[in-house]
Amino acid sequence: MISDSFPIAAIATAPGRGGIGVVRISGKGLMPIARAVCRLDGRDLKPRHASYLDFVNADGSVIDRGLALYFSAPNSYTGEEVLELQGHGGPVVMQMLLNRCLEAGREIGLRLANPGEFTFRAFQNDKLDLAQAEAVSDLIEASTEAAAKLATQSLSGAFSQTIGTLVEQVIHLRMLVEATLDFPEEEIEFLEKSNARGQLQAIRDSLEKVLQQAGQGALLREGLKVVLAGLPNVGKSSLLNALAGSDVAIVTAIAGTTRDKITETIHVEGIPIHVIDTAGIREDAEASDEVERIGISRTWAAVEQADVVLHILDASRGPTRADEDIVARLPARVPLIRIWNKIDLSGHKPGIELLADSTEIYLSAAERIGMDLLRQELLRIAGWQQTGESLYLARERHLLALRAAQDHLALAAQLAEQRDSALDLFAEELRLAQEQLNSITGAFTSDDLLGVIFSRFCIGK
Ligand SMILES: Nc1nc2c(ncn2[C@@H]2O[C@H](COP(=O)(O)OP(=O)(O)OP(=O)(O)O)[C@@H](O)[C@H]2O)c(=O)[nH]1
Ligand SMILES: [Mg+2]
């Protein structure tokens, strides 16, 4: 994101009607705007004090009456001066107030803020690191209590601190190695003497644990995409309705009822599960019309994107050739659950069987029998474990960086087996691992290592 140094303004509250609406301005030299827009009667706004006053147009006519809050730099969200005008939360009055601010701030270059620009400035001004800045939007977007709680923890810096501790451990090891590289005559048996291998192993263990906690948190954030696929009339839409607990999709005895994809997000133990109902799969020739054929091609597209596929079969009929054709076309990398539906007709008992390459579950969607078996199996496939450990609401970006760091440390461990001859390569892998970890919090890499080295050593030692 590029941000210039001009002051920025935006309506900070959600669009629509509400009790209160807030126009927020951040930048340098905001007092003239405050004087122009707020009827101050010769006073100035006192930092961190709420003043109840009129918001006025250039001609003195009143736009609204509300609270003005002023924060001086750097004691604000963005680290710049911030002016917040709280008026009545109507879209029109808010737009009028914003326009008035833009007009009053034209001379100092006040412009509309880009999405996320207030938080970006907070990051630029070291109010937040990158992971914390991301947590701000995660908190706003959280769809479950669990996700909101984890976002708050990340925002307070818990995740950043964990990453910071890992980085410090890596830096410590790098310091040892690089000192040795600078004094080659002492290189002999460095790896033995310094217990570098032991230290490296300890870092790898910690990283493994963080990755596990982050992976679980990522599940809470992203959820699991589950696609229901099968022949027409086997009960896919009934299963969606049973999972959702309401009649989301149309269910009829007519084959080919569902045409378009229907997605419904349910929550199982706080994990969002996006259940996607699709058109029943049958041969082109059997499909009733063009609409259904398009629906079927969408089914296959959805299957390609799935985290888990539920292949639904009619337990009262048994498997058919067409079912085998479907299985043959399913991507091998996607976990498969075979659902034998309609056990109320077939007389099977509800149950679950774990096979080598898939799971079989016997249930009845219409009668809502055996549904919990399915919910628990979805959690198991997602890798959800209730450990009671703290989790991190990680993003894909964080997981990628953690895994890349893990790979570099694994390479370093291999190099450490080759005695001291590969010490420079060992050091390089550590550096790369650190770079990956640093990318999570956005900390600058190369020079800070020197800083740490010199701040911890005194000359002459
Ligand atoms: N007895 C019984 N009937 C069921 C069960 N599940 C679904 N059905 C019936 O099977 C018929 C088809 O159900 P749907 O859920 O529409 O099937 P679908 O797989 O979505 O069908 P398409 O959308 O046409 O592909 C309906 O008449 C349902 O009432 C079940 O568990 N038991
Ligand atoms: Mg259907």
Distance 256 CA to ligand 2 centre (A): 7
User: Which of 228, 231, 233 is the best mutation target for the ligand 1 pocket, counting ligand atoms within 8 Å of the beta carbon and taking the most?
Assistant: 233
Tell how far the Cα of 406 is from the centroid of ligand 2, in angstroms. 44
Mean pLDDT, to the nearest integer, of 143-163? 89
Task: Say how far apart CA 330 and CA 351 lie, in whole Å.
Answer: 24
Query: Quick one: pLDDT at residue 357?
Result: 84
The one-letter amino acid at 236: K
Which atom of ligand 1 is least distant from the CA of 367?
31
Share of the chain above pLDDT 70, in %: 91
The whole-number pLDDT of residue 125 equals: 92
Q: How far is the CA of 234 from the centre of ligand 1 (A)?
A: 5
Bridge partner list, 362? 340, 351
**What pLDDT does 177 receive?**
84
Which residues have C-beta within 8 Å of that of residue 65, sequence separation ≥ 6?
Answer: 52, 53, 54, 55, 87
Q: Whose CA is nearest to atom 2 of ligand 1?
A: 342
Which of the 8 DSSP states describes residue 106? G
pLDDT for residue 21 is more than 80: yes
pLDDT tens-digit series, residues 273-329: 999 999 999 887 677 789 999 999 999 999 999 999 999 999 999 889 999 999 999
**Can you give the pLDDT at residue 270?**
82
432 lines ligand 1 (CB under 6 A): no
The answer for residues whose C-beta is within 8 angstroms of residue 361's C-beta and 6 or more apart is 337, 338, 339, 340, 351, 352, 353, 370, 373, 374, 377
How many C-beta atoms lie closer than 10 Å to residue 159's C-beta? 30
Confidence of residue 450 (pLDDT cuts 50, 70, 90): very low
CA 102/CA 391 separation, integer angstroms: 43
Q: Is the per-residue pLDDT at 32 higher than 80?
A: yes
Q: Could you count the other beta carbons within 10 Å of the beta carbon of residue 37?
A: 26
Calculate the average pLDDT of the chain.
88
Please tell me the predicted confidence (pLDDT) of residue 419. 65
Question: pLDDT tens digit string along 208-263?
Answer: 999 988 988 888 888 899 999 999 999 999 999 999 999 999 999 999 999 999 99
* 137 vs 155: CA distance, rounded Å: 10
State the ligand closest to the CA atom of 363: 1
Ligand closest to the CA atom of residue 292? 1
Taking the C-alpha atoms of residue 333 and residue 330, their distance in angstroms, rounded to an integer, is 9
What is the crossing angle of helices 196-222 and 158-182, to 10°? 150
Residue that has been written with the tokens 């410090």 in this structure:
168
96 has pLDDT over 60: yes
Q: What is the pLDDT of residue 231?
A: 95
Token pair 């959820």 in the structure block, residue: 223
List the helix and strand counts (H, then E) for the chain: 16, 13
Beta carbons of 308 and 337 less than 8 angstroms apart: yes
Nearest ligand to the CA of 371 is 1
Q: What pLDDT sits at residue 33?
A: 96
Ligand 1 neighbourhood includes 238 CB (under 6 angstroms) = yes
> Which ligand 1 atom is the nearest neighbour of the CA of 230?
19
- How far apart are the CA of 277 and the centre of ligand 1, in A? 12
Residue 458 pLDDT:
28
CB of 341 closer than 6 angstroms to any ligand 1 atom: yes
The alpha carbon of 419 is separated from its chain's Cα centroid by a whole number of angstroms, namely 41
Q: Nearest to residue 80, comparing CAs of 32, 5, 130, 28?
A: 28
Please report the sign of the dihedral spanned by the C-alpha atoms of residue 208, residue 212, residue 213, residue 215.
positive
Minimal CA–CA distance to 104: which of 85, 77, 125?
A: 85
The residue behind tokens 């034998």 is: 340
Q: Is 299 in the pocket of ligand 1 (CB under 6 A)?
A: no
Tell me the ligand closest to 238's alpha carbon: 1
The CB of 344 under 6 Å from ligand 1? The reply is yes
Residue identifier of the C-alpha nearest atom 32 of ligand 1: 342
Ligand 1 center to 264 CA (angstroms): 18
pLDDT computed for residue 381 by the predictor? 87
